[in-house]
Amino acid sequence: QVQLQESGPGLMKPSGTLSLTCTVSGASISSNYWWSWVRQPPGKGLEWIGEIYHSGTANYNPSLQSRVTMLIDNSKNQFSLRLTSVTAADTAVYYCAKHIEVLGKRGFDYWGQGTLVTVSS
Amino acid sequence: EIVLTQSPGSLSLSPGERATLSCRASQSVTGNYVAWFQQKPGQAPRLLFYGASSRATGIPDRFSGSGSGTDFTLTISRLEPEDFAVYYCQQYATSPARYIFGQGTKLEIK
């Protein structure tokens, strides 16, 4: 059974750098999957942040691209998210997710439980 | 950039009824790369369909996904109590890769 678990600080101060890690079990992060981060502000909808492949190739949401970096650690079966210059608008539940892809059709088939990150002074 | 508009914003139905949820894209979606997710309070989203109509593992056949071009539909043939949740559609685009979610439809018990 594939499982993903987010970890990181729950509370941050404005202008700081958010760092989250997603630990994967039940699947090798070196397999032919993409891995994504998605966030959801309290009471609002879902926003895709970015995706990364085991090679380290990453794609980011254009609206966040200037502040986002994703990295992958194949030896630890983990991937991570770094978001700089955070503000209250970055307060959200952050999810990591695994992709499924069949004949070009994609979806996020496994998700972590999510971790709430609050940005407040 | 494509905008996904889901309608209605909320839907109030009774168990046993049929639910029809719409997702309209502002421009044609290449390859019908649309996914649907179900999200219950306090839980992560759950994948229902990808590629508009490919059912994800473990999804009951009372759920169906359809559509092409700009109009996509999620249908629940006979609502069960556990189906009341928020449903999101998502479009996947390539070059560059990006994923856009609709704003969601809240399905409530009447």
pLDDT in tens, chain A (121 residues): 999 999 999 999 999 999 999 999 999 999 999 999 999 999 999 999 999 999 999 999 999 999 999 999 999 999 999 999 999 999 999 999 999 998 888 999 999 999 999 999 9
Residue B32's SS3 state is helix
pLDDT of residue B30: 82
Decide if B47 and A36 are in contact by the 8 Å CB cutoff: no
Under 8 Å between Cβ of B68 and B52: yes
Tell me the two tokens of residue A13: 């101060």
Distance from CA of B45 to the nearest CA of A (A): 7
Longest dimension (CA), chain B: 43
Contacts of B28-33 spanning 24+ positions with Cβ under 8 A = B28/B69, B28/B70, B29/B2, B29/B69, B29/B70, B29/B72, B29/B91, B29/B93, B30/B93, B30/B94, B31/A104, B31/A105, B32/A105, B32/B67, B32/B68, B32/B69, B32/B72, B33/A104, B33/A105, B33/A106, B33/B91, B33/B92, B33/B93
Q: Which residues of B touch A114 (CB under 8 A)?
A: 44
pLDDT of residue A17: 97
SS3 content of chain A, % helix, strand, coil (to 5): 5, 55, 40
d(CA A70, CA B103): 25
Decide if B46 and A111 are in contact by the 8 Å CB cutoff: yes
Residues 6+ apart with CB under 8 A from A63: none
Which of A48, A97, A102 is the closest to B54 by Cβ? A102
For residue A65, count other CB atoms closer than 10 A to its CB.
13
Decide if B99 and A36 are in contact by the 8 Å CB cutoff: yes
d(CA A28, CA A35): 11
Residue A106's SS3 state is strand
pLDDT of residue A66: 97
d(CA A97, CA A99): 7
Q: Which residues of A touch B95 (CB under 8 A)?
A: none
The stretches in chain B having pLDDT less than 70 are: none
d(CA B75, CA A31): 33
d(CA B21, CA B106): 10
pLDDT of residue B96: 80
Distance from CA of B9 to the nearest CA of A (A): 12
Return the amino acid letter for B22: S
